[in-house]
């Protein structure tokens, strides 16, 4: 029996942390992204009337940016019924309908600039754009009931099926940038047309089974094509592409009951979360190839940790959760949504990080003599738009659909995965997450509830109708039999906690990260009397929590220590000066100018 997730379509976020985020998303962020995309010609590109010499020459990935914006707008419309969003979407769909080829093909770059190269270059994002357009079309159909865009994309999917699966007339078999695999599964579910599921399975089955064109600057595993997917054990290559693929693999594993594929997915998931994931949930350790690297290689200042990769890992984890109710999946989602994902967006909702470093030392940019090398120094403040601006509309669609991650049901059991205040037909929850651990859940429609016990919690209580509940723990969930009209009260103790990394993460030896509940904290110079890289902590923190009005978040004050001396080297001694440190949630960093920041803080053991 499938563990079936409640769609965010069928519930409302009713208050608290994510209510505020969704409000910002629908009132500010979606419009900010629109404005920047309009300025940079991304929507105009759909009209396919670009003339050489004009600004904003369309790029091979522009359609995917537009698609994610439409998907976001559809989700937001679903909740706020803002018709102005649909007006914008309809114009875009008009353009797509007008300019697409008769055979169903649509790509605003290839049609205009290289029609002869259509379906010949594996490395050029064609099916990636197609996948995002399909996701957008499904979302638009589901949120508005209008099926024009869906039909357009079905035509395109039919063409892709013909070219790739039936005729095998394309110059490559599987795409260099994955995404279409999971998109086709969504298209199948929206249309009930099994051919789309089979086409997705075809791309999964074929990938890595034979030599295909590769990116010449990178190793063969950059595009996850170095071996058949069922043989994979390591997360490798471009981290966004990888996790979109893994999500598609999990979809196929679920739809076909493919245990071998599930096992590969689990091996990969374990490899990511046990050896290749930052404490913020960020993934992808190297800007070279925007990629996973090797086990325990988690550099903080050059962390690539693309915002899209964090989102993609949530997609992957949630699909695994459908097949295996195990808190290792939902814990990772929680880690991401409160840290490495949330950091992607400025507190005013208008600017974005592509990379989410765990350490900033701005002066290090000046260490590089070569102007070329300087380009790879991570941004120290968020930007409103990027040349490759995949992240902003990915963020808007993810925030709008965060409700997808809260509940699932299987038979007469309700599963609660994320503690987000919300109301659906059969359940209602109030939660103080992420800054408070109290949660109440009301339901009269299930015989059992299974609630996730977060991995960070030491102490917690569970009451049902005001009485300590009997429960059994299985794979990180507490299973509880429910009476009628159940009021479940959870209280997860959120202590300030110092976390250490596995000793194999050499770079974090002798350092700790401060956390409280699901939130990872960081230090910024603006809050501290010492440069944050010179601050040390001891186990005795004497932590005090104080609400920071400007950040709208809990700050944590602790005892801390620093050394000051002038010589470059000296005989070691312990003459620390005691000071105070102020920690803020990691996701709040870089909202107050360029400055030093660190998550991993020196520890005096």
Among 275, 322, 382, 516, binds a copy of itself (CB under 8 A): 275
Among 129, 277, 480, 522, binds a copy of itself (CB under 8 A): 277
Smallest gap from residue 179 Cβ to a copy of itself (A):
20
Among 169, 192, 485, 566, binds a copy of itself (CB under 8 A): 566
In the bound state with a copy of itself, the residue whose beta carbon lies nearer, of 20 and 274, is 274
| Sign (positive or negative) of CA dihedral 37, 42, 43, 49 | positive
- C-alpha span between 354 and 303 (Å, rounded): 11
Smallest gap from residue 297 Cβ to a copy of itself (A):
5
Name the catalytic one among 129, 243, 314, 390.
390
Name the catalytic one among 126, 161, 181, 290.
290
Are the C-beta atoms of residues 13 and 420 closer than 8 Å to each other? yes
Among 76, 130, 150, 279, binds a copy of itself (CB under 8 A): 279
Pick from 322, 166, 195: nearest CA to 247: 322
- C-alpha span between 427 and 416 (Å, rounded): 10
Hey, which residues does 452 pair with through a beta bridge? 477
Calculate the CA 580 to chain-centre distance.
Answer: 34
- C-alpha span between 26 and 250 (Å, rounded): 30
By DSSP bridging, strand 448-452 and strand 413-416 are parallel
Tell me: does residue 509 bind a copy of itself (CB under 8 A): yes
Smallest gap from residue 534 Cβ to a copy of itself (A):
4
Smallest gap from residue 312 Cβ to a copy of itself (A):
18
Tell me: does residue 51 bind a copy of itself (CB under 8 A): no
Torsion of CA 106, 110, 113, 114, to 10 degrees: -130
- C-alpha span between 490 and 356 (Å, rounded): 32
Region near a copy of itself per CB under 8 A, out of 182-190, 240-248, 440-448, 502-510: 502-510
Please tell me whether residue 528 adopts helix, strand or coil conformation.
Answer: coil
Region near a copy of itself per CB under 8 A, out of 251-259, 321-329, 379-387, 504-512: 504-512
Tell me: does residue 503 bind a copy of itself (CB under 8 A): yes
Cis peptide bond prior to 18, omega within 30° of 0: no
Instruction: Check if 430 is active-site.
Output: no
Binders of a copy of itself among residues 412 to 441 (CB under 8 A) are none
Calculate the CA 236 to chain-centre distance.
Answer: 17
Give the x-and-dash track for 217-236 against a copy of itself (CB under 8 A): xxx--x--------------
Two tokens at 428? 């209602």
- C-alpha span between 308 and 254 (Å, rounded): 23
Are the C-beta atoms of residues 391 and 306 closer than 8 Å to each other? yes
Two tokens at 521? 């904290």
Smallest gap from residue 563 Cβ to a copy of itself (A):
5
Give the x-and-dash track for 515-534 against a copy of itself (CB under 8 A): ------------------xx
Give the x-and-dash track for 287-316 against a copy of itself (CB under 8 A): -xx-x-xx--x-------------------
Smallest gap from residue 600 Cβ to a copy of itself (A):
10
Hey, which residues does 562 pair with through a beta bridge? 577
Are the C-beta atoms of residues 313 and 336 closer than 8 Å to each other? yes
Residues 6+ apart with CB under 8 A from 90: none
In the bound state with a copy of itself, the residue whose beta carbon lies nearer, of 198 and 500, is 500
Query: How many residues line the site for a copy of itself (CB under 8 A)?
Result: 65
Among 505, 522, 560, 599, binds a copy of itself (CB under 8 A): 505
Backbone phi, psi, residue 230, to 5°: -70, -10
Instruction: Check if 290 is active-site.
Output: yes
Tell me: does residue 1 bind a copy of itself (CB under 8 A): no
C-alpha angle 462/463/468, rounded to 5°? Answer: 95
In the bound state with a copy of itself, the residue whose beta carbon lies nearer, of 87 and 368, is 368
Backbone phi, psi, residue 598, to 5°: -150, 145
In the bound state with a copy of itself, the residue whose beta carbon lies nearer, of 2 and 373, is 373
Tell me: does residue 459 bind a copy of itself (CB under 8 A): no
Region near a copy of itself per CB under 8 A, out of 7-15, 174-182, 315-323, 562-570: 562-570
Question: Looking at 161-236, which runs of residues are DSSP E strands?
Answer: none
Residues 6+ apart with CB under 8 A from 399: 18, 21, 22, 25, 29
Give the x-and-dash track for 177-216 against a copy of itself (CB under 8 A): ----------------------------------------
Residues with a known catalytic role: 290, 390
Contact set with a copy of itself (CB under 8 A):
217-219, 222, 237, 273-275, 277, 279, 285-286, 288-289, 291, 293-294, 297, 361, 363-364, 366-373, 497-506, 509-513, 533-534, 536, 539, 562-574, 602-605
């Amino acid at each position: 029996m499938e563990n079936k997730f409640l769609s965010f379509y069928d519930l409302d976020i009713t208050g608290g942390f994510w209510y505020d985020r969704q409000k910002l998303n629908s009132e500010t962020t979606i419009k900010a992204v629109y404005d920047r995309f309009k300025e940079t010609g991304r929507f105009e590109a759909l009209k396919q009337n670009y003339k050489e010499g004009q600004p904003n020459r369309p790029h091979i990935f522009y359609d995917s940016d537009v698609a994610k914006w439409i998907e976001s707008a559809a989700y937001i419309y679903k909740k706020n019924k803002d018709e102005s969003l649909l007006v914008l979407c309809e114009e875009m769909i008009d353009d797509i309908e007008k300019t697409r080829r008769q055979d169903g093909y649509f790509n605003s770059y290839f049609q205009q600039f290289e029609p002869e190269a259509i379906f010949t270059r594996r490395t050029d994002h064609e099916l990636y754009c197609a996948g995002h357009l399909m996701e957008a079309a499904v979302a638009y159909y589901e949120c508005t009931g209008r099926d024009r865009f869906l039909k357009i994309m079905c035509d395109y999917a039919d063409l892709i099926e013909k070219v790739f699966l039936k005729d095998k007339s394309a110059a490559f078999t599987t795409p260099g940038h994955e995404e279409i695999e999971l998109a086709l599964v969504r298209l199948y579910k929206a249309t009930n047309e099994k051919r789309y599921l089979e086409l997705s399975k075809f791309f999964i089955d074929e990938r890595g089974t034979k030599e295909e064109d590769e990116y010449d600057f990178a190793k063969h595993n950059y595009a996850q094509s170095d071996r058949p997917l069922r043989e994979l054990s390591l997360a490798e290559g471009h981290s966004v592409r990888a996790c979109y693929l893994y999500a598609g693999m999990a979809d196929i594993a679920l739809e076909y009951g493919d245990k071998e594929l599930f096992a590969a997915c689990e091996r990969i998931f374990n490899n990511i979360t046990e050896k290749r994931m930052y404490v913020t949930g960020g993934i992808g350790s190297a800007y070279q190839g925007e990629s996973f690297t090797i086990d325990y290689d988690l550099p903080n200042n050059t962390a690539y940790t693309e915002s899209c990769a964090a989102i993609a890992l949530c997609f992957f984890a949630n699909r695994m959760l459908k097949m295996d109710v195990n808190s290792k999946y939902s814990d990772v989602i929680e880690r991401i949504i409160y840290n490495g994902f949330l950091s992607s967006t400025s507190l005013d909702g208008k600017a974005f990080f592509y990379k989410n470093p765990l350490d900033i030392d701005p002066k290090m940019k000046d260490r590089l003599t070569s102007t070329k090398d300087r380009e790879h120094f991570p941004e120290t403040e968020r930007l409103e738009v990027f040349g490759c601006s995949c992240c902003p509309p990915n963020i808007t669609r993810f925030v709008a659909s965060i409700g997808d991650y809260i509940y699932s049901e299987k038979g007469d059991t309700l599963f609660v995965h994320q503690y987000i205040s919300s109301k659906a037909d059969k359940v209602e929850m109030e939660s103080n997450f992420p800054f408070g651990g109290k949660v109440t859940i009301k339901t009269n429609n299930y015989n059992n509830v299974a609630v996730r016990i977060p991995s960070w919690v030491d102490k917690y209580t569970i009451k049902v109708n005001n009485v300590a509940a009997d429960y059994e723990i299985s794979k990180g969930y507490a299973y509880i039999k429910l009476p009628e009209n159940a009021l479940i009260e959870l209280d997860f103790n959120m202590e300030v906690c110092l976390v250490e990394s596995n000793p194999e993460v050499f770079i974090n030896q002798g350092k700790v990260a401060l956390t409280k509940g699901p939130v990872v904290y960081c230090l910024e110079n603006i809050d501290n009397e010492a440069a944050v890289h010179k601050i040390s902590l001891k186990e005795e923190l004497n932590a005090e929590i104080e609400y920071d009005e400007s950040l709208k978040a809990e700050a944590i004050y602790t005892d801390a220590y620093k050394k000051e001396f002038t010589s470059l080297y000296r005989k070691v001694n312990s003459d620390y000066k005691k000071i105070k440190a102020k920690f803020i949630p990691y996701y709040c960093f870089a909202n107050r100018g360029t400055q030093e920041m660190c998550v991993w803080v020196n520890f005096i053991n």
